[in-house]
Amino acid sequence: MLESGDTERHTEAAKTDWIRTDEWCTRPSHVFSTPVALSVKDQGDSVTRSLHFSWELSGSGWATCRIWDGSTKHQDIVSYCTNALADLLKGVTGLYGPHSIQRFSFDLEPAEARWILRRRNSDVHITICRFPDMSTSFDAPDGKGTLMWTSTRPRTSLAHAVLVAAEKVRRTHGEDGYLQKWRLHAFPTTELETLRHLHLAADNCALQH
């Protein structure tokens, strides 16, 4: 749920225009609903200063989103009903502006996974809350949700991790391949490059870009 406006949503009928009902109703079942211990084999993808993040297209209209901080991790299976990767990039980009709090939501069909990012000097406090039904909870107060994961990390670590993960998606699938899998939304090139520009200009990041 971005502060700048409502996130686009789509009806059940709109989904069936794109893919068969049996495709989008069958979703991966390995969703972590509570923090679990990090194992060595889980380490990889985008790893920066004990913050790890990955975004993988896991089927037609689904993406697997993982975040972990070296001790606990969280995973969601995100639906294409919203422009989820663009919302993530915009939310992190907002941390470079005048507003210290950014919010956005992922549609888990039917649940809502709401991310709240609170900038505190050079750090960001990350909170992920879950609501049972996004169609009724989209404007609900944060406190009505169930806390699923929280961590505080440097802003530069979060921005870099998200940038690397998004760039890996583009490198793996290409922009045409991304649209074929995500269906309703093109790859968020503008949002990616905007975040990259702000991150490089404002953060003292020594990692490779």
Helix, strand, or coil here: 106?
strand
> What does the pLDDT look like over 75-92, one tens digit per residue?
999 999 999 999 999 999
> What does the pLDDT look like over 40-57, one tens digit per residue?
333 334 445 579 999 999
Find, among 33, 4, 185, the residue nearest to 103 by Cα.
Answer: 4
> Which residues face 103 on adjacent strands?
116
Sign of the torsion formed by the C-alpha atoms of 38, 51, 117 and 170: negative
Q: 160 exposed, middle or buried (CB, 10 Å; 0-12, 13-18, 19+)?
A: buried
Q: What is the mean pLDDT of the chain?
A: 81
Determine the average pLDDT of the residues in 7-30: 30
In the structure, what pLDDT confidence band is assigned to residue 96 with cuts at 50, 70 and 90? very high
Per-residue model confidence (pLDDT) at position 138 = 84
Say if residues 69 and 52 touch (Cβ distance below 8 Å).
yes
**Rounded-to-integer distance, Cα 127 and Cα 147, Å:** 7
Q: Domain boundaries in the chain?
A: 12-202
Q: Which of 4-8, 106-110, 172-176 has the lowest mean pLDDT?
A: 4-8
Determine the average pLDDT of the residues in 181-193: 97
> What does the pLDDT look like over 122-145, one tens digit per residue?
999 999 999 999 999 988 999 999
Q: Which of 11-20, 110-119, 151-160, 162-171 has the lowest mean pLDDT?
A: 11-20
The end-to-end CA distance of the chain, in Å, is 28
Instruction: Decide: pTM greater than 0.85.
Output: no
- Amino acid letter at 131? F
Residue 46: Cβ within 10 Å count: 22
**Rounded-to-integer distance, Cα 113 and Cα 63, Å:** 13
